[in-house]
């Protein structure tokens, strides 16, 4: 955690200085095809978050069923409560797959030659904004997931019940919608403390491994440049004043933290080694901003996901 704050408090003199318009960026003709693809995914993000926030779980029903194993009515009540919840969890998981593909499309556009990462982000602001929106969604989703143990409890109960019925040669209707292979993949997804961030990390690593002719620096430099641009906008009064709301400032701050954590997963030596493009700080201005954030999601994610503390 301390190393993350170091990164956020570095001097900005050598960072790229331009305004990335997170509020009003519109796609150019060259961006439009990819932008439309990503937009079709992101349009479902708010409903996913609302559905996750409203997720209450089937804790009481499951508890009653476990405490009264011979009461058929309570078993049925718990099962009927869990099944629709598992369908919702499947929807969240399937959205993560769509998000993974969307991120890879964005990385392809934002890292391709002949432009540098700075040139890409400055020229293709609508795509950069969508990249930021994916990161913002990811931190919000993972914050809600980490605060809701009912998700793991419900899914564990579902899998135990399915396994028990298989032993008894019973097939349940929900298996037509959530078969064993899907349940296995969902189980791995929800076992992660921050599943969406893990999805983005895997997507980025897959992009790097699949594009062997593209230097990994093109990808990591894109991430470090995005971090730098966010930091400059937050700490430069001229840029900061162009944001029309506090929400945009919070958005920018969350995105910056999300990119740093993603960079730490992807870069061979992490975000906090001395050889990293994101390195040690001199002042504490962003630190004071972070301490005033209204949501601890960046703290939760950083505590769970920053993996290279030993390098600093």
258-305 residue pLDDT tens:
898 888 888 777 766 666 665 434 333 454 454 444 444 445 444 444
Position 29 pLDDT exceeds 90: yes
User: How many structural domains compose the chain?
Assistant: 1
Specify the pLDDT at position 137. 97
Which whole number is the average pLDDT over 194-200? 94
Task: Give alpha helix (H) positions in 211-296.
Answer: 216-235, 237-240, 246-266, 285-291
Q: Give the integer Cα–Cα distance in Å for 242 and 236.
A: 10
Mean pLDDT score, 33-48: 97
**Tens of pLDDT along 70-111?**
999 999 999 999 999 999 999 999 999 999 999 999 999 999
Percent of the chain predicted with pLDDT > 90: 50
Instruction: Give the domain range for residue 79.
Output: 2-311
Q: pLDDT digits over 155-175, tens only?
A: 999 999 988 876 455 556 777
Q: How far apart are CA 207 and CA 211, in angstroms?
A: 6
pLDDT above 70: percentage of residues in the chain: 79
Cis peptide before 102 (omega within 30 of 0): no
SS3 of residue 236 by DSSP: coil
**pLDDT score for 272:** 64
* Per-residue pLDDT band at 312 (split at 50, 70, 90): very low
pTM equals: 0.83
CA angle, 108 then 93 then 137, to 5°: 60
């Amino acid at each position: 955690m301390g190393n993350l704050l170091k990164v956020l408090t570095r001097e900005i003199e050598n960072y790229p200085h331009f305004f990335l318009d997170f509020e009003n960026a519109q796609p150019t003709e060259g961006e439009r095809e990819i932008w439309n693809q990503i937009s079709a995914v992101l349009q479902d993000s708010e409903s996913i978050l609302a559905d996750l926030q409203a997720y209450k779980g089937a804790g009481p029903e499951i508890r009653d069923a476990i405490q009264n194993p011979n009461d058929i009515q309570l078993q049925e009540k718990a099962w009927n409560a869990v099944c629709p919840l598992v369908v919702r969890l499947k929807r969240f998981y399937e959205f993560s797959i769509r998000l993974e593909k969307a991120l890879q499309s964005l990385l392809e556009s934002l890292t391709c030659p002949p432009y540098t990462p700075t040139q890409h982000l400055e020229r293709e602001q609508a795509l950069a904004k969508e990249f930021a929106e994916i990161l913002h969604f990811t931190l919000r989703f993972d914050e809600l997931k980490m605060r809701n143990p009912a998700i793991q409890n419900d899914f564990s109960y579902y899998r135990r019940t399915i396994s028990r019925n298989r032993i008894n040669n019973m097939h349940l209707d929900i298996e037509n919608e959530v078969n064993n292979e899907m349940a296995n993949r969902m189980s791995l997804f929800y076992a992660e403390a921050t599943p969406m961030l893990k999805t983005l990390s895997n997507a980025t690593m897959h992009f790097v491994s699949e594009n062997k002719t593209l230097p990994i620096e093109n990808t990591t430099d894109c991430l470090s440049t995005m971090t730098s641009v966010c930091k400059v906008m937050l700490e430069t009064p001229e840029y900061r004043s162009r944001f029309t709301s506090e929400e945009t400032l919070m958005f920018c701050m969350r995105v910056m933290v999300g990119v740093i954590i993603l960079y730490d997963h992807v870069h061979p030596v992490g975000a906090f080694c001395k050889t990293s493009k994101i390195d040690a700080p001199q002042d504490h201005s962003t630190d004071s901003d972070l301490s005033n954030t209204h949501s601890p999601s960046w703290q939760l994610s950083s505590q769970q996901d920053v993996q290279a503390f030993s390098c600093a």
